[in-house]
Amino acid sequence: MGLILRTAVLTDLGLRRTNNEDCAYAGSRLLAVADGMGGLPAGELASGLAIRVLAELDAEDHGEPAAALLAAFDTASAQVREAAGAEAGRDGMGTTVTALLFHDDRVGLAHVGDSRAYLSRDGALSQLTRDDTFVQGLVDQGVLTAEAARHHPHRSLVTQAMQGQPLTPYSATLAVLPGDVYLLCSDGLSDVVTNDVIARILGSATDLDQLGRELVAAAVEEGAPDNVTVVLAAVG
């Protein structure tokens, strides 16, 4: 089955940041978002490096998609480590990475950090990734509710990101159905816009650029304290 993807990518500075450390990609097979960390200019460098490595997967068919993504994560991680060591002032440089690679009627997913992947299918939204964050650990232990986690002072503390250290990315392979809409986003969206609102917006239209603009607008309405990036793909 040859899947046809329609895609859209939108990134916005938000209302309080002066630079954009997010980087994103949407091609014929690959969707990816990366949210850099480590201050100027290291964060942008890290997210850009990761996306550049992943984007090479879009050029040709690599077989088993989750395995191809994990191999690309290893390559990107090595490049981030090398870049972090190449100049002073790049301590803590790194990036989140969340990526989907489509292959026949399946999609591979690989994820590290607190960017997210969602699937909207038959009007229902499911979150495909679990944040690698301190607060998500507390939610998993039943100590915090998901809503309390969204307002926690340490909500942006990531427990794992691509920072040149050995990684244990989450990965999965999922079945793809016609009509599926996939969303990748940086935490600039998901920190301020609830899953309920994301679900409502994704169910409101079929034009992906319009959906992207509405998602970004929802974050701006909530003050957009961070860069907001959304990658959308609809399966035809």
| Of residues 17 and 121, the one with the C-beta less far from Ca ion | 17
Q: Which of 12, 20, 35, 125 binds Ca ion (CB under 5 A)?
A: 35
Count Cβ atoms within 10 A of the Cβ of residue 159 and give its class: 0-12 exposed, 13-18 middle, 19 or more buried: middle
Q: Which of 196, 69, 51 is nearest to 127 (CA)?
A: 196
Alpha carbons 115 and 231: distance in angstroms, whole number: 11
| Of residues 15 and 143, the one with the C-beta less far from Ca ion | 15
| Of residues 5 and 228, the one with the C-beta less far from Ca ion | 228
Alpha carbons 157 and 208: distance in angstroms, whole number: 31
Give yes or no for residue 187 binding Ca ion (CB under 5 A): yes
Span from 47-55, 63-71, 136-144, 226-234 in contact with Ca ion (CB under 5 A): 226-234
H or E stretch covering 139: helix 134-140
Vertex 55, ends 162 and 123: CA angle to 5°?
A: 85
Give yes or no for residue 226 binding Ca ion (CB under 5 A): yes
Which positions from 109 through 138 interact with Ca ion, judged by CB under 5 A?
A: none
Span from 6-14, 28-36, 164-172, 207-215 in contact with Ca ion (CB under 5 A): 28-36
Shortest Cβ distance from residue 71 to Ca ion (Å)? Answer: 26
| Of residues 47 and 234, the one with the C-beta less far from Ca ion | 47
| Of residues 185 and 233, the one with the C-beta less far from Ca ion | 185
Shortest Cβ distance from residue 36 to Ca ion (Å)? Answer: 8
Alpha carbons 32 and 24: distance in angstroms, whole number: 6
Give yes or no for residue 191 binding Ca ion (CB under 5 A): no
CB contact set of 49 (below 8 Å; sequence gap of 6+): 76, 79, 80, 83, 95
User: Where does this chain bind Ca ion (CB under 5 A)?
Assistant: 35, 186-188, 226
